[in-house]
Each structure stands twice: as structure tokens, then as C-alpha cells.
Amino acid sequence: MNIPFINREVEVNTLLEVSSRGYYPILYVYGPEGCGKTRLFRELANKLRREGDYLVIYVDALETSNFERAILAPKEIVLEVAKVVGEIAGIGGYIAKTITEWLLKGLRKIKVKSKHIVVMVDDVVQAIGIERVNVYTKKLLDLLEELYTLNIESATIIVSTSEGRSRREILRHRWATMKLLWNLDSKATLRLLETLKAPEEERREYLKLTGGNPRAIIELYYKGWNIEEWKQTYKEPVKTLLRTLDREGYKRELIEVVEDPDRLLEASELLREKLIEYNMVIELPVKELRLAGQPERNLELGVGEEYAWQIPVYRYLIREQLA
């Protein structure tokens, strides 16, 4: 199935502009799991590769076995990567971790003068672990600065993460900036559902439950648009979360957060941290740090000013469990 790339023109153009002038320090793109970060990176890479003055290196840190999917780069750089990696499990993560060992060596073997160098590392935090993210970010910043010794026009390193807990770690230092990529807006979601031939009478319900999350919509497609069957895949993390909490002690707070995620501002720290740790709720940055100005406050979709439910279905399942 070929999933169309819908309504990401603003995000792509923003990153194209960033890539054309270079960016300092490291740019992290973060957002809900399944919101389309990987697809955005690949679309950006494809656009830039068609331009003669750009040199693009893309690494999928979660690719476990396919070398060709783990890295997209000029052949000279790929050869350097192959020397470092060899035969190893978790190949994408290893390529991401060792980027400072092979990138400069590869670039020195090709003509890069006056080129725009764009490096993208996708979903790296899951691959390296949150406890290593600060050290890794500093190494990337050192690498970014070294790239300019090659007499290039500009350099940009963009990294993606879905881990809500990583945001605070990364922002502890001035080694990186973080910008939010959100789910599709309502209009784009309905267009995607129409393209995938979702039952017309149920499309508003799909929007309400997925919040425009592309991966969730694709999951529904493969479940034959069966909502109850699809919900089963989300019930287990909800049950696991609730097992870690005293239901009665946190029931009132949870119900309030289900209705308005901004109630987390007044909620207990443990509840807030658990919802972020389980990637159910995400902290929202100021609007200037959102790639497309999304999302706007919408309590039906679980979006507040400061916090938002990554996928609204979590709200409904928690409400059911607490009833």
C-alpha cells in the first residue's frame, strides 16, 4: 500500500529553508509516536538529493537488519560506514552511535566544497537510550562544528525523537533546539481517510479516536476499519500504566486529565511523569517551536495549551478502565 504524503508542505518547506542556510546548534524534531517523522525525513531527503548543491546523509536508527534502509548517503560514505559496522544486529542504532567515526572520513573522500551538508538521524533516542542522549547530542554538536573545516557552504544536523522524557534531558543544555511535529490536522486527516476509502459514516469517529495520527489511521486500515479490534492494541499499555498507579489515589486526577490535559499542571508529579514515560501525554512547546503552528487547543482531541494526549484513544480507554 502506498500511503500518500498529505499536508506536510509547511513542515517540509520549513526544513528546506533550514537546510539551505544551515542550522546551529543541533535541531531535534519531536512529536507523538506515529505522527510521521520518518516519512517527513525521507521526503526531505528525496527533495534535497535532487538538488545538485546538497549532500544528504539519512540514518534510520531503528532499522535492525537492512543496511540499505538504515542509511541513505553517497556511496563513498556508505563504504566508510560498512567498514565500521560490519555484520551486527541493530544495525541502524550502531550506525547512528558511530556517526562521528565514519562521517568525516567519508566526506573527505568526495568533493564537498561549497556544498550544503544535511545529516538526518531518525528516532535515535530509542536506539541509544535516554541516559546517553546528552553525551550524544554534544558529540553531534562537535561534529557539526568540524564539518565547517571542510570548506562547505552550510551544515545542518536534524534528529528525531518520540520519547517525551528525552525533551527535558536534551533541553538541559544549549546543545540543541527542539521543534514539535504534530499529528495531521482535521482537514488533512479526513483527506487521508478518504484516500484510504474509510467508511464515510465513521470518518469523524476515526478522527476523534486517532487525533490525526497517521500510524494509528494506517493501523485501522489494516484492521478493516474495525474500531473495537484496533482498540485492543492500545488496551495493554493502558492496563500496564494503571497497574503502576494506585487507581483510587489517582482516579480523580486521571479523570480530570482525561477531560483536560492541562490539569497536569496541578496534578501530582508521579502521574505526570508516568503519562509522559508511557508516551501517552506529551509536553507542548511554545508556538514558535512548532514546525507548522500545530496543535491548537481542542479538548475533544485531548489537546491543551501545555500538554496533549498523543493519541486520543488513550483517554477513552482510561475512562473505561476507571468507570
Domain ranges of the chain: 9-180, 186-322
| DSSP notation for 188-240 | HHHHHHHHTT--GGGHHHHHHHHTT-HHHHHHHHHTTT-HHHHHHHHHHHHHH
pLDDT number for residue 2: 72
- pLDDT bucket at 88, cuts 50 / 70 / 90: low
Average the pLDDT over each of 82-96, 192-206, 228-242 and give the range with the smallest value. 82-96
Share above pLDDT 90 across residues of the chain, in percent, rounded to a whole number = 84
Specify the higher pLDDT residue, 245 or 54.
54
Report the C-alpha gap between 215 and 36 in whole angstroms: 8
Q: Are 41 and 122 in contact (CB under 8 A)?
A: yes
Residues 99-115, mean pLDDT to the nearest whole number: 94
Alpha carbons within 13 angstroms on the beta-carbon side of residue 167 total: 21
The CB density around residue 139, as the number of other CB atoms within 10 Å, is 16
Specify the higher pLDDT residue, 169 or 27.
27
Q: Are 15 and 101 in contact (CB under 8 A)?
A: no
pLDDT number for residue 87: 62
Report the C-alpha gap between 61 and 122 in whole angstroms: 6
Question: CA of 79: how far to CAs of 54, 102, 106, 151, in Å?
Answer: 19, 9, 8, 22
pLDDT number for residue 7: 86
Average the pLDDT over each of 2-6, 10-14, 192-196, 292-296 and give the range with the smallest value. 2-6
Report the C-alpha gap between 208 and 205 in whole angstroms: 5
pLDDT number for residue 3: 76
Q: What is the grid cell recorded at 248?
A: 483510587
Q: How far is CA 87 from the centre of its chain?
A: 28
Alpha carbons within 13 angstroms on the beta-carbon side of residue 40 total: 33
Residue 123's DSSP bridge partners are: none
Q: Which of 268, 254, 245, 232 is nearest to 302 (CA)?
A: 254
Q: Are strands 281-283 and 307-309 parallel, antiparallel or unpaired?
A: antiparallel
Residue 282's DSSP bridge partners are: 308
pLDDT number for residue 256: 96
pLDDT of 104 strictly over 70: yes
pLDDT number for residue 59: 97
pLDDT of 245 strictly over 90: no
pLDDT number for residue 10: 93
Residues 274-298, mean pLDDT to the nearest whole number: 92
The CB density around residue 42, as the number of other CB atoms within 10 Å, is 16
**Topology (CATH level 3) of domain 9-180:** Rossmann fold (3.40.50)
pLDDT number for residue 293: 81
Residue pLDDT, tens place only, 123-161:
999 899 999 999 999 999 999 999 999 999 999 999 999
pLDDT number for residue 115: 96
pLDDT number for residue 89: 64
Residue pLDDT, tens place only, 215-238:
999 999 999 999 999 999 999 999
DSSP state of 294: P
pLDDT number for residue 246: 77
Residues 253-280, mean pLDDT to the nearest whole number: 95
pLDDT number for residue 1: 65
Residue pLDDT, tens place only, 155-188:
999 999 988 888 889 998 999 999 999 999 999 9
Q: Are 47 and 196 in contact (CB under 8 A)?
A: no
Provide the b/e sequence for 96-108 (b: ≥16 CB within 10 Å).
Answer: bbebeebbbbbbe
| Three-state secondary structure call for residue 2 | coil
